[in-house]
């Protein structure tokens, strides 16, 4: 159909955008009714008010020492918070290092960019075999990535807990599985979207497929990949803290314990510790991104 004279280009699609908005509003209303979300329930009951008041009263005065008597020889509160922060960082760093290794391997397998390393032409048996096996690698990698990503790290933690029993290593592996999947997905997209001019030039100059990939393609995607891995480290810190709610001695464990003992000042001490950790990682990954990606 010829466009009407004077029609604004893209007009037809902006109608679809309106449709997306209508669907979102309708879905929101459906969700509200499905869950019986009653605005009146947003007002806490009497006990709730007491907790909210106490909690907010302590927001600006986090505890610097225990709020109750503690047995002699207990480490000072701030030292305990630091120790919990250390373990939070250790779990996150170990998990992200595993995730980067598996993310790179899987991401490479799930990208099609390295296929161009193959010199044009060539009809030998080896070439044919290689070309028919590539889509298979691609498909398997995609399925594995999707399965890893579709289960949340806390559910992996529950599964590993049931399968292996309590071990600190389970916490690291639980985070590393979905994070490897996410890194692999994003890495593969970055490799596929990286400019291919230098790779094609190397291939024309007679470089081997490995050289084409390592020196032509990878360097173009590497800054983005590094910046994204750093961002995921920040997310891993939060995940690692939350694993504390499942018994691992990271920050979440102490947040839950202090909350249940009504030590709201201590809750804020741990919350602010987590806040500082995440804000530092946020600043670090942001500064690095500006320098790498610009």
Partner 1 sequence: MSSHEADPRDAGRRDLEIRRLYRARPRSRFARWSGAALVLLVALAWSSSELRFGDYFSERRMANLERFLGELRPYPLQGKDFDLSVAASWAGEVLRGKGWAAAGVTLAMSVAAIVLAALGALALTLYAARTLASPEPYLPAPRPPSRARLWTWRAVVALSRALLIFVRSIPEYVWAFIFLAVLGPTAWPVVLALAVHNSGILGKLTAEVVENLDPEPLAALRGLGASRMQIAAAGLFPLILPRFLLYFFYRWETCVREATVLGMLGIVSLGYWIVDARARNHYDEMFFFVLIGAGIVLVGDLVSAVAREVIRRAA
Q: Which stretch binds partner 1 (CB under 8 A): 29-37, 74-82, 137-145, 210-218?
A: 29-37
Q: Which of residues 49-108 bind partner 1 (CB under 8 A)?
A: 49, 51-52, 55, 87, 89-91, 93-94, 96-97
Cβ(203)–Cβ(269) below 8 Å: no
Query: Considering the complex, what minimum distance in angstroms separates the CB of residue 68 from partner 1?
Result: 19
Give the residue from 130, 112, 119 showing the smallest Cα distance to 191: 112
Query: Considering the complex, what minimum distance in angstroms separates the CB of residue 13 from partner 1?
Result: 3
Phi-psi region of 165 (alpha: psi -120 to 50; beta: other; left: phi over 0): left
Q: Which stretch binds partner 1 (CB under 8 A): 19-27, 63-71, 116-124, 129-137?
A: 19-27
139 binds partner 1 (CB under 8 A): no
- Which one among 4, 9, 41, 125 touches partner 1, defined by CB under 8 A? 41
CA distance 122 to 276: 57
Query: Considering the complex, what minimum distance in angstroms separates the CB of residue 284 from partner 1?
Result: 7
- Which one among 151, 200, 214, 257 touches partner 1, defined by CB under 8 A? 151
Taking the least distance from each CB to partner 1, the nearer of 117 and 244 is: 244
Q: Which stretch binds partner 1 (CB under 8 A): 24-32, 64-72, 73-81, 189-197?
A: 24-32
Give the C-alpha distances (Å, rounded to integers) separating 1 from 4, 5, 10, 126. 9, 12, 14, 49
213 binds partner 1 (CB under 8 A): no
Give the residue from 232, 196, 233 showing the smallest Cα distance to 215: 196
Q: Which stretch binds partner 1 (CB under 8 A): 106-114, 128-136, 159-167, 208-216?
A: 159-167
CA 228 to chain centre: 9
Cβ(64)–Cβ(269) below 8 Å: yes
Half-sphere exposure of 260 (CA within 13 A, CB side): 7
């Amino acid at each position: 159909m010829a466009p009407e004279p004077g029609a604004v280009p893209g007009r037809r699609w902006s109608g679809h955008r309106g449709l997306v908005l209508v669907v979102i509003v309708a879905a929101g209303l459906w969700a509200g009714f499905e869950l019986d979300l009653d605005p009146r329930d947003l007002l806490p009951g009497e006990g709730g008010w007491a907790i909210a008041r106490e909690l907010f009263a302590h927001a600006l005065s986090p505890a610097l020492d225990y709020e109750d008597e503690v047995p002699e020889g207990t480490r000072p509160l701030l030292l305990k918070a630091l120790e919990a922060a250390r373990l939070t960082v250790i779990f996150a760093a170990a998990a992200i290092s595993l995730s980067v290794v598996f993310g790179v391997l899987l991401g490479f397998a799930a990208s099609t960019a390295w296929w161009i390393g193959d010199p044009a032409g060539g009809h030998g048996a080896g070439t044919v075999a290689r070309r028919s096996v590539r889509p298979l690698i691609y498909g398997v990698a995609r399925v594995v990535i999707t399965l890893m990503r579709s289960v949340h790290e806390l559910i992996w933690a529950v599964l590993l807990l049931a399968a292996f029993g309590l071990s600190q290593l389970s916490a690291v592996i639980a985070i590393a599985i979905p994070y490897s999947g996410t890194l692999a997905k994003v890495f593969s997209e970055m490799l596929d979207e990286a400019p291919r001019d230098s790779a094609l030039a190397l291939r024309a100059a007679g470089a081997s497929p490995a050289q084409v990939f390592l020196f032509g393609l990878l360097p173009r995607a590497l800054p983005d990949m590094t910046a994204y891995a750093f961002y995921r480290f920040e997310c891993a810190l939060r995940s690692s803290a939350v694993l504390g709610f499942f018994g691992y001695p990271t920050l979440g464990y102490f947040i839950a314990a202090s909350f249940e003992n009504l030590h709201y000042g201590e809750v804020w001490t741990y919350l602010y510790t987590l806040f500082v950790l995440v804000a530092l990682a946020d600043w670090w990954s942001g500064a690095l991104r500006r320098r790498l990606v610009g």
